[in-house]
A and B are shown apart, each in its own frame.
Chain A
């Protein structure tokens, strides 16, 4: 315990902490209150700070008007897909890089690592083009080689071969491009490097295959790291904005975070802020719950990432 007593400073500490917590919490508190009011109360100036009794009505109105049920399912599939995909891909990748010696090991690691410098925001259009037609590059090769004419000659009449496979408006399109992660691979690599050498030696001595070692020893040891990443990546996946915005045009495939915009009252409409806030609360609830209930792992994972 500290050697000195500083009652004034302690008082100041508690006071500022409480003020800080209130200020940080205020936007949410305000949204919660607004979500319980009727249209009449929410548009009163200034809005009443006493909660009303319209919460359930507003929630169901937001749910129906914003097609939230459908969008929440999309968000959930996307977030879990990204989480699961990222962790599996990174676990295998890190296992390959740390526990095997092969020619392209360093190249592979560098290639994965450099994706840190290519967030989706700096390659918006070409990534979209790629997702719009996964076979685009193949088609390019096809055209350059003039294979169309070869095929036409072979078939004896004109044939236009076009290779197309689109990821637009699909779950695969929402998930796949976001499953490669330098940070996750890096984290697992760092962790694997701290695992005692004896474990692998013992496993080899007992005649375990690499995959047996992976499933029976490495995976159980990685449990806390995986738990931490599940929290971080679920929040990351749920809150994605730019990529789902690009890749979905069909309203049925939109995610909840993007769909929420349609609940915002425009200047010509009624000021339905109570509905908008009810919608915002529904959409933010899943990641907030995950973070609050898994706070310990979440903080551990966040701070580990720095190293």
Chain B
């Protein structure tokens, strides 16, 4: 692994310097993670007096549970929609902003701030906009399109509401990355294509878009991680997984089953499944990044 050619030879100092980080990591990351894995193989009575080792029973029960399978489906639909909406809008706005060179910074300022808003607050803002009796969007839909909109009672409406709240918050994040990616593309490439007579639209698809693929990959991974985990705040503040479990995504179910329902075994098994998932995403991400480095250098 990389190290400076000239380094210090002090004996104990480096240990002292890394100690705080290692201590926090062991106490709050590794120890709980190991405990979680262990209790996913156990069942315990609600008072925590007795525990029994049951091998994979919790996992088997989990994947036989229709509620859990439904939660997986809900999570996939949710993150698919959030990724599609926020990436499409972010990319579109970034390529537009990249065309107006003089105003790029101003546009960025006007688009960036939803990033700073907490997911839970984003949820609250959209709840108000889409509220069946007071929300302007809901009333508009009812009056103009005759849609009986009610995210508090209807599953599909509730899903759309949390998708909007999450995608809205993510558009600005994706926008920043796409804009940076677009600005890194050498202008001479685009100009050469323009001289050859390629239309702006064609230039985008044949030059810009392929060169943007590393950014695209990164943004997709980050959006998926966001919708899997950080959207917890939105769900907790706005729908609490309802109506009828229609917005009960995996991470909220872990919290609900474990922290509220005190079903430790099942909740731990769910945590381990999520852990496996994020390990997979991280490994994929770094494999891809390595490949990218090889290609460019």
Q: Indicate whether B60 reaches chain A with its CB closer than 8 angstroms.
A: no
Contacts of B107 on A, CB cut-off 8 Å?
A: 17, 21
CB distance from A70 to the nearest CB of B (A): 18
CB distance from A78 to the nearest CB of B (A): 12
Contact A30 B128 (CB under 8 A): yes
Q: Indicate whether A147 reaches chain B with its CB closer than 8 angstroms.
A: no
Contact A105 B134 (CB under 8 A): no
Contacts of A299 on B, CB cut-off 8 Å?
A: 108, 112, 176, 180
With both beta carbons as reference points, the residue of chain A lying nearest to B258 in the complex is identified as A125
Q: Roughly how many angstroms separate A100 CA and B8 CA in the complex, as a whole number?
A: 5
Write the A91-121 contact mask toward B (1 if CB under 8 angstroms, else 0).
0110111111110111011011001111101
- Number of inter-chain CB pairs below 8 Å: 306
Q: Roughly how many angstroms separate A17 CA and B100 CA in the complex, as a whole number?
A: 10
The prevalent SS among residues of B at the interface is helix
With both beta carbons as reference points, the residue of chain B lying nearest to A10 in the complex is identified as B99
Contacts of A26 on B, CB cut-off 8 Å?
A: 129
Q: Indicate whether B224 reaches chain A with its CB closer than 8 angstroms.
A: no
Q: Indicate whether A144 reaches chain B with its CB closer than 8 angstroms.
A: no
CB distance from B69 to the nearest CB of A (A): 19
The prevalent SS among residues of A at the interface is helix
Select the residue from B20, B171, B190 with max chain A CB neighbours within 10 A.
Answer: B20
With both beta carbons as reference points, the residue of chain A lying nearest to B273 in the complex is identified as A122
Contact A180 B177 (CB under 8 A): no
Contact A124 B255 (CB under 8 A): yes
Q: Roughly how many angstroms separate A277 CA and B20 CA in the complex, as a whole number?
A: 41
Contacts of B35 on A, CB cut-off 8 Å?
A: 126, 129-130
Write the B69-110 contact mask toward A (1 if CB under 8 angstroms, else 0).
000000000000000000001001100110110000001111
Q: Roughly how many angstroms separate A101 CA and B31 CA in the complex, as a whole number?
A: 27
Q: Indicate whether A164 reaches chain B with its CB closer than 8 angstroms.
A: no
What total of chain A residues lie within 8 Å of the partner, measured CB to CB?
108
Contact B112 A291 (CB under 8 A): yes
| Of the residues A88, A102, A124, A180, contact of B254 by C-beta under 8 Å | A124
Contact B121 A283 (CB under 8 A): yes
Contacts of B47 on A, CB cut-off 8 Å?
A: none
With both beta carbons as reference points, the residue of chain B lying nearest to A107 in the complex is identified as B22
Contact A238 B118 (CB under 8 A): yes
Q: Roughly how many angstroms separate A121 CA and B272 CA in the complex, as a whole number?
A: 11
Q: Roughly how many angstroms separate A111 CA and B191 CA in the complex, as a whole number?
A: 47
Write the A256-283 contact mask toward B (1 if CB under 8 angstroms, else 0).
0110110010000001010011001001
Instruction: In the complex, identify which listed stretch (B50-58, B205-213, B274-282) lies at the interface while the others stay far away.
Output: B274-282
Q: Indicate whether A45 reaches chain B with its CB closer than 8 angstroms.
A: yes
Contacts of B124 on A, CB cut-off 8 Å?
A: 260-261, 264, 276, 280
Contact A14 B100 (CB under 8 A): yes
Q: Given that A21-B107, A239-B119 are known contacts, is A125 also in contact with B259, CB under 8 Å in the complex?
A: yes
Q: Indicate whether B268 reaches chain A with its CB closer than 8 angstroms.
A: yes
Contact B120 A260 (CB under 8 A): yes
Contacts of B28 on A, CB cut-off 8 Å?
A: 127, 130-131, 176-177, 180
| Of the residues B22, B121, B176, B274, contact of A260 by C-beta under 8 Å | B121
Contacts of B232 on A, CB cut-off 8 Å?
A: 121, 241-242
CB distance from A232 to the nearest CB of B (A): 10
Q: Indicate whether A306 reaches chain B with its CB closer than 8 angstroms.
A: yes
Contact A17 B93 (CB under 8 A): yes
Q: Roughly how many angstroms separate A2 CA and B115 CA in the complex, as a whole number?
A: 32
Q: Indicate whether A254 reaches chain B with its CB closer than 8 angstroms.
A: no
CB distance from B260 to the nearest CB of A (A): 11
Q: Indicate whether B233 reaches chain A with its CB closer than 8 angstroms.
A: yes
Q: Which residues of chain B in 246-279 are interfacial with respect to chain A, using CB atoms and an 8 Å cutoff?
A: 251, 254-255, 258-259, 264, 267-268, 271-272, 274-275, 278-279
| Of the residues B14, B110, B267, contact of A100 by C-beta under 8 Å | B14
With both beta carbons as reference points, the residue of chain A lying nearest to B111 in the complex is identified as A24
Contact B125 A31 (CB under 8 A): yes
Q: Roughly how many angstroms separate A27 CA and B97 CA in the complex, as a whole number?
A: 21
Contact A20 B278 (CB under 8 A): no
Contacts of A115 on B, CB cut-off 8 Å?
A: 25, 29
Contact B278 A242 (CB under 8 A): no
Write the B121-147 contact mask toward A (1 if CB under 8 angstroms, else 0).
110111111010110100110000000
Q: Given that A112-B25, A200-B7 are known contacts, is A123 also in contact with B121, CB under 8 Å in the complex?
A: no
Q: Roughly how many angstroms separate A302 CA and B119 CA in the complex, as a whole number?
A: 18
With both beta carbons as reference points, the residue of chain A lying nearest to B101 in the complex is identified as A1
Contacts of B259 on A, CB cut-off 8 Å?
A: 124-125, 128, 246
Q: Given that A42-B134, A45-B133, A261-B237 are known contacts, is A106 also in contact with B21, CB under 8 Å in the complex?
A: no
| Of the residues A9, A89, A238, contact of B20 by C-beta under 8 Å | A89
Q: Indicate whether B4 reaches chain A with its CB closer than 8 angstroms.
A: yes
Contact B125 A27 (CB under 8 A): yes
Contacts of B6 on A, CB cut-off 8 Å?
A: 197, 200-201, 204
Q: Indicate whether B160 reaches chain A with its CB closer than 8 angstroms.
A: no
CB distance from A212 to the nearest CB of B (A): 11
Contact A21 B111 (CB under 8 A): yes
Contact B194 A2 (CB under 8 A): yes
**A to B CB contacts below 8 Å, 19 in the list:** A30-B128, A93-B20, A111-B25, A112-B21, A122-B229, A122-B274, A124-B254, A125-B39, A130-B27, A134-B27, A177-B28, A185-B21, A193-B2, A204-B6, A257-B120, A288-B113, A295-B109, A299-B176, A306-B215
Q: Supply 15 further A-B pairs (C-beta < 8 A) apart from A122-B278, A180-B25.
A: A30-B129, A47-B136, A100-B17, A105-B1, A109-B1, A111-B22, A117-B275, A121-B232, A126-B32, A130-B28, A130-B35, A200-B7, A213-B8, A264-B127, A271-B133
